[in-house]
Chains A and B, each alone.
Chain A
């Protein structure tokens, strides 16, 4: 009898582990790009190593990036970005930790495009702020693809633009997130 109980317990534990592993999705190759439209020129940068983890059961979602990984077309822009604006040495990582508020609206087992609302804490340049934003979860073949566009103010994150560059760099930056995810196998 005792042996039977043990076997049942082991099967139950393994089943729970298996189910919870299927609930989680991730990528380490997500994309983030940003655009700042200044008076003189438009500044754009891309990041191709965004880590994103999504728990489809709870709707908890997390993104993180190393700031030095943003690639610019012009070398000087990249240097100014890292050294003068976001101070990548001091604040090497930016992240978002939050939740899909209407997670129950997403059927992770059914292909489709689901409009979602995400709420959580965005940390850039060592400053953490509560944000709420719209996004999209696209399910295809059992895999979610998270996408969103958000607009932030550099001043909200204490990113100062020196007077000489003020005409060229807009205080408002548009950030686009694009993360196709895979099931997390544990």
Chain B
């Protein structure tokens, strides 16, 4: 095989590999968290306290992280088949609010206020309450019940 053919073959191979990688990246969907190992496991009350004490530091620590939160269910809200579960202290307005993965909502069926559960989710940040009426929230989405 001539040297020229080898070079052409190598270039073609590189183009094919790059094209496959680009296509797989372009079509990559957001994966469910069911089998994803969490970066942190914590308690809802402790997590809220961490954000309330130092939002900047907590943001840095939990940035883009997958987290398992243990806590007492304060409320379960359903809107057009989307479930949102609030965890935390029922005497405090602040909560960890978890929006369930839309493909895994059946797990929410038996969840009741006062129950202690563990939820795994992707942390999206801290919504500090500046109205003084609602309480602050640590928000998670793509959540699954552990």
A interface with B by C-beta (< 8 Å): 24, 26, 28-29, 31, 48-49, 51, 53, 62, 64, 66, 68-69, 71-76, 78, 89, 92-93, 180, 184, 186
Question: Contact: B84 with A29, CB < 8 Å?
Answer: yes
Question: Contact: A75 with B28, CB < 8 Å?
Answer: yes
Chain A residues whose C-beta falls within 8 Å of the C-beta of B59 in the assembled complex:
92
Residue of A nearest to B84 (CB): A29
Question: Contact: A69 with B63, CB < 8 Å?
Answer: no
Interface string of B65-100 (1 = CB under 8 A from A): 000000000000101001010100000000001010
A146 to chain B, nearest CB (A): 14
Interchain CA distance A130-B5 in the complex, whole Å: 63
B interface with A by C-beta (< 8 Å): 25-31, 59, 63, 77, 79, 82, 84, 86, 97, 99, 124-127, 131, 133-134, 137, 139, 141-142
Interchain CA distance A73-B59 in the complex, whole Å: 25
Interchain CA distance A66-B28 in the complex, whole Å: 23
Chain B residues whose C-beta falls within 8 Å of the C-beta of A89 in the assembled complex:
63
Residue of A nearest to B26 (CB): A76
Q: A28-B134, A76-B28 are in contact. List 13 more A-B contacts (CB 8 A).
A: A28-B77, A48-B79, A49-B124, A49-B139, A51-B127, A51-B134, A51-B137, A68-B125, A69-B124, A71-B142, A74-B29, A75-B31, A78-B30
Chain A residues whose C-beta falls within 8 Å of the C-beta of B139 in the assembled complex:
49, 66, 69
Partner of A66, one of B30, B79, B127: B127
Q: List 13 A-B contacts (CB under 8 A).
A: A28-B77, A28-B137, A49-B99, A49-B141, A51-B134, A53-B131, A53-B134, A68-B125, A69-B141, A73-B30, A74-B27, A74-B29, A89-B63
Chain A residues whose C-beta falls within 8 Å of the C-beta of B26 in the assembled complex:
74, 76
Interchain CA distance A73-B133 in the complex, whole Å: 34
Chain B residues whose C-beta falls within 8 Å of the C-beta of A71 in the assembled complex:
30, 141-142
